[in-house]
Amino acid sequence: MRAYLAAALQMTSVPDLAKNLAQAEDLVDLAVRRGAELITLPENFSFLGDEAAKLEQAATIQAASEKFLKTMAQRYQVTVLGGGYPVPTEDGKVYNTALLIDANGPLMRYEKVHLFDVDLPDGNTYRESSTVCSGQSLPGVYPSKDLGHLGLSVCYDVRFPELYRHLSQMGADVLVVPAAFTAFTGKDHWQVLLQARAIENTCYVIAPAQTGFHNSRRQSHGHAMIIDPWGVILADAGVEPGMAIAEIVPARLDQVRRQMPSLQHRVFI
């Protein structure tokens, strides 16, 4: 692993595949021009809005999303994480799938395990399981020689620390948390959960995000972030489309793990 710049993109995706991919392409291009070598896109980067429309177009969205990610990785010779797009299943639902890819092709795929089925105090109800199948495998860690050991997750996963402890036990240096966090939960929980995952696992956290209104009811929190292993926020994208960009530094990772070797002090493993 060497020092490099990572970008956590922030988008306002809508129920318009072409419009979303055009927005994503502009942001990827900007991130590359700023020097990023690892570029992460948020959950639902290619389509976010009406669930029925997503199901109806799922195969088209999948094909376009994967073609886009491959094109970006090859064109710019970078590693890209597509934080979440639908992949149809045999039972008429989809997997919420994250894909890590570089110029040579796909590196790792993860199907979101924890599904967002909640009734929020603001009156909104979410039932992700009505259209999405839970993945059946824990996420993996991709051992990149240049970028470190990359651990994958998606959005609601961030509330389940055992998943990230699994990733740290597999040697993760960098935890990626692409999300479409709701505005209501995000204001109280987004930052603190990301910092907790970074601190307890002494890992960098890269968290691309959705922001703003996606339709008449759904609003995302924004604040794509990159956080260091001590829990320090290195970059915060705020609430407008754009990106958080920061350097991932192996010497900083080693320093924190040397000064706070909590992973070595675990009693119950």
Active-site positions read: 43, 112, 155
CA dist 73 and 248 (Å) reads 19
For the range 58-62, what are the long-range contacts, defined as Cβ-Cβ under 8 Å and sequence gap of 24 or more?
58/86, 58/87, 58/88, 58/94, 59/88, 60/17, 61/17, 61/85, 61/86, 62/86, 62/87, 62/88, 62/97
- How far apart, in whole angstroms, are the C-alpha atoms of residue 111 and residue 137? 8
Question: Dihedrals φ, ψ of 173, to 5°?
Answer: -105, -30
**Among residues 16, 37, 38, 39, which one has the least CA distance to residue 26?**
39
Residue 196 burial (CB count, 10 A):
17
DSSP 15-33: S-HHHHHHHHHHHHHHHHH
Cβ contact 44:218 at 8 Å: no
Strand runs (DSSP E) across 44-176, as ranges?
79-88, 94-102, 105-111, 117-119, 125-127, 132-133, 141-144, 148-152, 174-176
Least Cα distance to 77 among 97, 52, 103, 115 occurs for: 103
**Using an 8 Å Cβ cutoff, are 74 and 87 in contact?**
no
